[in-house]
Structure 1
Amino acid sequence: MTVNLPDAAWRNRPGLDALLDALGAADGMVRFVGGAVRDTLLGLPVNDLDVATTLFPAMVVERLRASEIKVVPTGIDHGTVTAVIAGWPVEVTTLRRDVSTDGRRATIAYTDDWREDAARRDFTINALYADPVSGAVFDYFGGVDDLNARRLRFIGDARERIAEDHLRILRYFRFLARYGDDAVDGEAYDACRAGATSLMALSRERIADELLKLLGVADPVKALRLMVDGDILKPVLPEVDMQGVARVERVIAREAEAETQPSALRRLAALLPPDTTLAEQVGARLKLSNKARKRLVAALGTTPPPHNARALAYRVGVESAIDRLLLDRDVAPDVVRQIRDWTPPRLSIGGGALIARGLPAGPDVAKALQAVEAQWVAEDFPGDGRISEIADQTVSKFQRARQ
């Protein structure tokens, strides 16, 4: 049965036709590949576009520059460059085959055989190509049928594919969570369990990136249960257990009730035991950014009573406050609505205003300003008139204390 790629908004983006013309689309030298084909067949939105070509990288660069298309040699040693059209990146990769692999990286050689290129990919649903002119879909390993059945299969032997790239273990569960049904492929699951210790050979940045992508899908709970039950995460995150998975499930439900955007980092916090020291250790182990580590730790801090939601947001930031409120099962999710679209104000006076009121310059100024701020926050951020009153009262209090 012939399958054609449906029309979609991304296929009409400015500059795409010029890019395809430059790469020889009319002569069959370039095809859409991977996620864009897969998601378009499912009717899902497409954000990232990859194309494959029979042209060697140097020729790709030459042709794009001749067509005045910006090109960045992002991974040219492995056959990939990034074309930028109307501010939109498109990854262009020369057809490849693996010469050797060690589980972390591959030595590749270029090829002009589309099936050979497809054979080196991980899952059948990711090895789909589409001709940009006719829209015809090329499926070498039954990916369309698997897509329709919501079935996730490795191409070829699962253990061999995992041995080629250990990250495919985590990718398997991410794709299972997003595209699979409730049934897991026994051969694939056994291969992931058998190869779990090989995750330790990967960089922590790659593990963190893939884990956060998994936690960011609509419902990763079933996949997480399988991972914990099979000791998949144990080599790199031994702290994670079924209680953590239950917390993630609860947070997902609370995100929906609060009508707030899902957050992979918030779900990671839920996955961990509620211990700020441990959160700091995990953040460091996964080599998260300083900002992400701080948010992870802040999410597991002590949550104040619900009526202090804005005070919490003022102190730790709106994002971290939402994290804490959603992680605390005793706080109603609708409390989040109080701060979801709120911008914390700034105190409109400084130490100079207190000195102008008669408070002598010195250490008392900073203390008094802190007292003014604390009262302002406690009264839920009143306007300038009330701030002036609080400042007068505070200065008087400090002056009396000095007498």
Structure 2
Amino acid sequence: MTVLLPDADWRHRPGLDGLLAALDAAAGKARYVGGAVRDALLGLPVNDLDIATSLDPHDVVHRLKAAGIKAVPTGIDHGTITAVLSDGPVEITTLRRDVSTDGRRATIAYTEDWREDAARRDFTINALYADPLTGEISDFFGGLTDLEARQLRFIGDATARIAEDHLRILRYFRFLARYGDNEVDSVAYDACVAAANSLMALSRERIADELLKLLGVSAPVHALRLMVDGGILVPVLPEVVMAGVDRVERLMAREAESGVGGSALRRLAVLLPHDPVLADQIGARLKLSNKARKRLMTALEPGVDGETPRALAYRVGVEGAIDRLLIDVGQPLDALAGVIGWTPPSLPIGGGALIARGLQPGPDVAKALHEVQRLWVAEDFPDAARVGELADQTVSKFQRARQ
């Protein structure tokens, strides 16, 4: 039975018809592939669009330029050209077959055989192609059946697929969390467990990227438990244990109850031991950005006794305060109400105003200004008139102390 790609807005993107014409899709030289096909069949939003083509990458560049479409050779050594359309990029990759692999990178050769291209992909549900004009699906390895059953299977031998690219271990659990029915293919799982040590050969950036993608899906807990049970992360993140997965589950329940969107970095913070210094070290090991490492540390730093939610947000930022309030199960969720959407104000007074009130220039000015700010925060950020009163009181206090 012929299966057709459902119609959707993304198939009518501005400039897409011109791109398909440039690639001679009418002659069968270009098809949608991978995530766009998979997600469209599942009725999910399609964000990233990939096209596979039998055309040589240099021919693709020539054709796009002739059609007035900007072509960026983002991965031309591996056959990938990015076409820049008015509403976003489209990746175009020439059909390939693997010549050799070492688990991190592959030496490829171009082919005109669609099945050969499909055979080098990881999972059956990612090896689906669609004719962009007729919508007809090409399925070489039973991906449609697996997609309908929500079953995640490697193409061919799982051990061989993992040996080609070790990152497929982490991708297996991410795709299981997002698309699988949580009924694990024991052969695939055992292959991932057996090859876990090979993750050490990957760059930490690739590991971090996959882990954050997994933590960002709507239901990662079951996959995380399988990973901990199988010792998947031990070679690269031995700090992750089952207690961390339990914390992720509790955090996600609080995210859902409060209506705050899930955050992969926030979930990573609780997956790790509750130690800001260690979290920063792990963030450095994973080559996270300084901003991401700071967020991990802020989320796990100890609180200040008696500090109100808005005082916390003023001190560490709104994002950091939301993370802390969600992570701390002792905090009532209604504490978030005064923080979400709040913009911390600036202290409406400076040192010059204190000097104008009679405070002598010098180190006392900074100390007095800090005291005014402390009182202002403690009173939940009153208006400028009240700040003026606090300034008067503080200047008088410092003047008396100098007499």
Using structure 1 for the length normalisation, give the TM-score: 0.98
Opposite residue 242 of structure 2, the aligned amino acid is M
Structure 1 residues 332-388: Cα deviation after superposition (integer angstroms, max 9, x where no partner): 122222211111111111111111111111111111111111111111111111111
Q: How does 1:107-126 map to 2 (within 5 A)?
A: 107-126=107-126
One-letter amino acid of the counterpart of residue 202, structure 1: L
Q: Distance in 1 between matches of 2:356 and 2:19?
A: 65
The more displaced of 305-314 and 140-149 is 305-314
- 1:171 corresponds to: 171
In the TM superposition, residue 391 of structure 1 has moved relative to its aligned partner by 1.1
Preserved contact between residue 255 and residue 333 of structure 1 (Cα < 8 Å):
no
CA distance in 1 between counterparts of 2:303 and 2:68 reads 55
CA distance in 2, matches of 1:6, 1:299: 43
Secondary structure of 1:190's counterpart equals helix
Root-mean-square deviation (Å): 1.0
SS of the residue aligned with 1:234? coil
Corresponding letter in the other structure for 1:348: P
- Cα distance between partner residues in 2 of 1:138 and 1:257: 42
User: How many Å separate the matches in 1 of 2:144 and 2:372?
Assistant: 65
Distance 1:395 1:84 in 2: 61
Report the Cα distance in structure 2 between the residues aligned to 1:210 and 1:195, rounded to whole angstroms.
Answer: 17
The residue correspondences of 1:4-403 to structure 2 (distance < 5 A) are 4-304=4-304, 308-403=308-403
Check conservation: 1:97, 1:108, Cα contact below 8 A.
yes
Q: CA deviation at 1:154?
A: 0.1
| Residues 303 and 325, structure 1, Cα contact 8 Å, conserved in 2 | no
Aligned residues: 403
Determine the C-alpha separation between the residues in 2 that align with 1:33 and 1:192.
Answer: 25
Q: Which letter does structure 1 place at the counterpart of 2:118?
A: A
Contact 2:99 2:109 in 1 (8 A): yes
Larger deviation: 272-281 or 143-152? Answer: 272-281
3-state SS of 1:51 partner: strand
SS at match of 1:284: helix
- Secondary structure of the 1:99 match is strand
Shift of 1:138: 0.5
1:194 Cα offset (Å): 0.3
Residue 182 of structure 1 deviates from its aligned partner by 2.2
Aligned with 2:217: secondary structure? coil
CA shift, 1:307, in A, is 6.5
Counterpart CA distance in 1 for 2:179 and 2:172 is 10
Q: Is 1:3 equivalent to 2:3 in the alignment?
A: yes
CA displacement, residues 123-173 of structure 1 (integer Å, 9 cap, x when unaligned) = 000000000000001110000110000000000000000000000000000
Structure 1 counterpart SS, 2:308: helix
Following TM superposition, the consecutive aligned residue runs of length 4 or more in structure 1 with deviations greater than 2 angstroms are 303-307
Distance 1:354 1:296 in 2: 37
Secondary structure of the 1:181 match is coil
C-alpha separation in 2, matches of 1:337 and 1:265:
22
* Helix, strand or coil at the partner of 2:98: strand
Letter in 1 for 2:364: D
**Residues in 1 aligned to 2:195 and 2:306: alpha-carbon distance in whole angstroms:** 45
Identity %: 73
Q: When the two structures are superposed, what TM-score results if normalisation uses the length of structure 2?
A: 0.98
8 A contact 1:248–1:270 mirrored in 2: yes
| Residues 230-265 of structure 1, C-alpha deviations (whole Å, 9 max, x = no match) | 000111110111100000000000001111110000
Residue type at the aligned position of 2:347: L
Say if 2:279 and 2:296, in contact at 8 Å, map to a contact too: yes
CA–CA distance in structure 1, aligned partners of residues 376 and 306 of structure 2: 18
Q: Supply the AA of the counterpart residue of 1:59.
A: D
What is the alpha-carbon distance in structure 2 between the residues aligned to residue 176 and residue 257 of structure 1? Answer: 25
Q: CA deviation at 1:303?
A: 3.1
CA contact (8 A) 1:257 1:334 kept: no
SS of 2:281's partner is helix
CA–CA distance in 1 between the matches of 2:84 and 2:401? 66
Amino acid paired to 1:137: I
**Deviation readout 1:64-103 (Å, 9 max, x if unpaired):** 1111111211111111111111140111101000000000
Q: Aligned partners of 1:393, 1:18: CA distance in 2, in Å?
A: 71
Paired residues of 1:306 and 1:331 also in contact (CA < 8 A): no
Specify the SS of the correspondent of 1:73. Answer: strand
**Is the CA contact 1:99–1:106 (under 8 Å) kept in the aligned structure 2?**
yes
- Whether the aligned pair in 1 keeps the contact of 2:13 and 2:87 (CA below 8 Å) is no
Structure 1 unaligned spans of 5+: none
The answer on whether the counterparts of 1:205 and 1:288 sit within 8 Å (CA) in structure 2 is yes
Equivalents in 2 of 1:354, 1:17: separation in Å? Answer: 67
